[in-house]
Structure 1
């Protein structure tokens, strides 16, 4: 697993999915942003393409942070200030050669710009997914209204664990992203067994916790006794527990391999770790 060793998430995720050293890409340091094209090369073999050759159904859920292929206006270079304009373009899946059928994700992480949850060809918020779609239809393109995240969650004045300001879809709630990712991953598992009985499946569930911002949902607040970041560790445990419980209920826990790994470093102030 030495090929997956890195101090931050993008290169670690790349190594885990491809089995290739992260420095073989154009990204030589740091991470990609919410507007970056796909880091996985079209010709690169991935866990998903390999498993699909063996009849696996593959689904990706959670914090992508490997780039996506946005459709941009001619000559447009996306920035945070022009985020609303970017959102008015269409969204495309990862290149089909990667084998990663994206079902439900956030572009990078709950601390980076572009605060939306995505399903194929739809940009929507958690509220839209749970209630009704807040989408505007113009000239056949799917668009949605945006608001500045600053008006909701701006704690960028130096408070530990605060999110960065940026654009957000209406109803987007940082506290709920991992809960929704887990629900969608569970739904995929059940759907895979129902549609293809006896055939294997592969799920990658990439949680945002316990990365900043440290905004735990109410049901785990104070549970760790170690502050909001500790509460997000409890949330990560809960998400894993829901997956394990589902596997047991489906009576496939004894024949399902579960790998639980971290793609991130300790808190940002632990510079000597």
Structure 2
């Protein structure tokens, strides 16, 4: 039987409503000559409940910097990643296109997987760069890359494409050669990036196209870290990665703050994804074990970014967006104990399911926009958006029209940012995707799931097609397909239309 949070639904909604009761001043559209700087902080596996201001269930992890973003900005209360796992969500965020329109239909890429982003595919970074922005990426890429290898191993590596783990080493990969298919080929003028997740070899950072530290050793793995063994740069220290990304982000802001050109900084983090490696100053600071302590490292990074913007006097003209690539992971494997909730910390704020699942816990994510010069404090936008809507939003901000082959599934939420009185849905339908390739379709309050079960790790018994009314049942406790067969048919037909026509926005 599902653990129910039905009695907490009113509390959760009341919390959100209370935060939106501040009076707001009127705003006007931004002209192209008033382009804001944009910083997109993309946490890895951060759940809605990991931000204390958004968690009505517990206060085991207190996050003052992220709470500040909620209180000083605009919270999108019904925001979703495209998928319930890392790689596909990152593809959709950057392209404005559903991930399942590619050859990657399930799962994630590994550290040696070939690029997922198609050659020539335009991204948010490309759009901004082509319209006067300086662009940079610092952090986790996880969209594949083509490593330089010795000729005799090229055929073998191609045959093992899309495999996760340390399949190859010094004898096969030539780490002195340039790495292709990365951020700098997709609109980023500067990139400092790790090719996969923090638990995936090769453990090294690439600056633009070259490995930054080419002196390697073998990492054997460590009990309790949840990191795979593999090749590691000698200077790669797991617990120092978030502080290093923070320093580099702050340095970039410092460097660009005096420029006339606006900048776009894409800051995809490696935390709080496994391995859980909080810094010494955060150890024991939360009441949720090392996971909660690691979340505090994310909060510290956010604080450092906001402080530098204030120091450089560009706070009012910088739009900072904080989000996550999917819902939080609560278990360490199928049928294993929920080690996070055992601490009393509800990382997904009571939503059913977790990372990998098609349920709300898998893909409903925090999405907060702070822009002191435009957004009045403590606003809530209650309608549905997807992360892939960033592309159309930036296009409307720039007052440019997207071509047919760019941002095919993206809808603009720019009016919600610039007009505090805007209270209309920006999209009618939204498709979500699980780790095993299961689909869901949202339409208003209704959610249709095309398949049995979670499409991930959560175990349950359901019909082959599922239906939920999220307005009445946010925690997906009452399955309604038998009561509404006509709704099932209507939404199944619409899902098939979106899948087959190749786009969902008005082209």
Greater relative contact order (Cα < 8 A, sep 6+): 2
TM-score (ref. length: structure 1): 0.83
Which whole-Å CA distance do the structure 1 matches of 2:94 and 2:228 have between them? 28
CA RMSD of aligned residues (A): 2.2
Which whole-Å CA distance do the structure 2 matches of 1:43 and 1:236 have between them? 33
Within-5 A mapping of 1:1-273 = 4-74=81-151, 75-76=153-154, 77-78=156-157, 80-85=166-171, 86-93=173-180, 94=182, 98-125=186-213, 144-150=214-220, 153-155=221-223, 159=224, 161-194=225-258, 197-269=259-331, 270=354, 271-272=457-458
Task: Report the CA distance between 1:72 and its aligned residue.
Answer: 2.1
2:84–2:326: 8 Å Cα contact kept in structure 1?
yes
Which whole-Å CA distance do the structure 1 matches of 2:148 and 2:222 have between them? 29
Instruction: Give the 4+ runs in structure 1 shifted more than 6 A.
Output: none
Task: Report the CA distance between 1:89 and its aligned residue.
Answer: 4.7
What secondary structure, in the 3-state scheme, does the structure 2 residue paired with 1:70 have? coil
Task: Report the CA distance between 1:224 and its aligned residue.
Answer: 1.1
Task: Report the CA distance between 1:120 and its aligned residue.
Answer: 2.9
Task: Report the CA distance between 1:189 and its aligned residue.
Answer: 2.0
Task: Report the CA distance between 1:213 and its aligned residue.
Answer: 0.3
Which whole-Å CA distance do the structure 2 matches of 1:88 and 1:106 have between them? 14
251-260 or 261-270: which moved more?
Answer: 261-270
Question: Runs of 5+ in structure 2 lacking a partner?
Answer: 1-77, 158-164, 332-353, 355-456, 459-474, 476-507
Question: Runs of 5+ in structure 1 lacking a partner?
Answer: 126-143
Which whole-Å CA distance do the structure 1 matches of 2:175 and 2:308 have between them? 37
2:276–2:291: 8 Å Cα contact kept in structure 1?
yes
**CA 53–120 in structure 1, closer or farther in 2 if over 3 Å, else same:** closer
Task: Report the CA distance between 1:123 and its aligned residue.
Answer: 2.0
Encode CA deviations 1:135-154: one digit per residue, 9 max, x unaligned.
xxxxxxxxx3321111xx42
TM-score (ref. length: structure 2): 0.46
1:63–1:109: 8 Å Cα contact kept in structure 2?
yes
**CA 166–201 in structure 1, closer or farther in 2 if over 3 Å, else same:** same
What secondary structure, in the 3-state scheme, does the structure 2 residue paired with 1:112 have? coil
